[in-house]
Chain A
Amino acid sequence: DGGITQSPKYLFRKEGQNVTLSCEQNLNHDAMYWYRQDPGQGLRLIYYSQIVNDFQKGDIAEGYSVSREKKESFPLTVTSAQKNPTAFYLCASTSGTGANQPQHFGDGTRLSIL
């Protein structure tokens, strides 16, 4: 089945440590996104990529970094500069063909601080 796979489901970070969240899609989608969700809140955009080797900052990019070396993969690194990283992280993708298309989401990674 085609879809978006996020791993790991749960992740713990120590102080001063960088951690990387994986997002893989086999939908042949061009565009991929990373969102952060805090309890009782909506989703906030961290980074997005419309095409391989290109990505743009979203609304809350500070303390995060991404790469897009392959169409299928869009990993997110939560750096030590992100002082409040505890949240639910969601990856999404869409075909990005120029017409409005809904974003499709993975099942998230929950990041906590040790």
Chain B
Amino acid sequence: GESVGLHLPTLSVQEGDNSIINCAYSNSASDYFIWYKQESGKGPQFIIDIRSNMDKRQGQRVTVLLNKTVKHLSLQIAATQPGDSAVYFCAENTGPNFGNEKLTFGTGTRLTIIP
């Protein structure tokens, strides 16, 4: 079946450095992608999204890159802070209708910021 996966399950980054979290997706028909941040004991928090007609989108300290040729998604976090430590999930829309009724999630990458 279709799946969303991650290249690295854990990532440790020095505070102040930039981090890059990668995600591979397999459904070439997916047209919408989301990155979520999940802290321990809490629900996922929306970070940034991107539609398939774009290859880059920037937010506050975050950038998402989409490479449809190789079906790859990445999240870049600039100048990491201790509060960035969390598990990060990518999700792709696999719903056939109005675009968001079915998201498929990856297993997540645990990002640890080293002080």
Contact = CB atoms under 8 A, between A and B. Distances in A.
A21 B31 CA distance: 32
A114 interface: no
Contacts of A6: 43
B107 A41 contact: yes
A101 B100 contact: yes
Given A50-B101, A105-B44, A100 B107 contact: no
A108 B42 contact: yes
Interface string B23-67: 000000001101010000111111001010000000000000000
B98 A102 contact: no
Interface of B: 4, 31-32, 34, 36, 41-46, 49, 51, 89, 91, 93, 98-103, 105-108
27 contacts: A31-B100, A40-B107, A41-B107, A41-B108, A42-B89, A42-B105, A42-B107, A43-B89, A43-B105, A44-B105, A48-B102, A50-B98, A58-B102, A90-B44, A92-B43, A96-B98, A96-B100, A100-B100, A101-B100, A102-B34, A102-B46, A102-B49, A102-B100, A104-B46, A105-B43, A106-B43, A107-B41
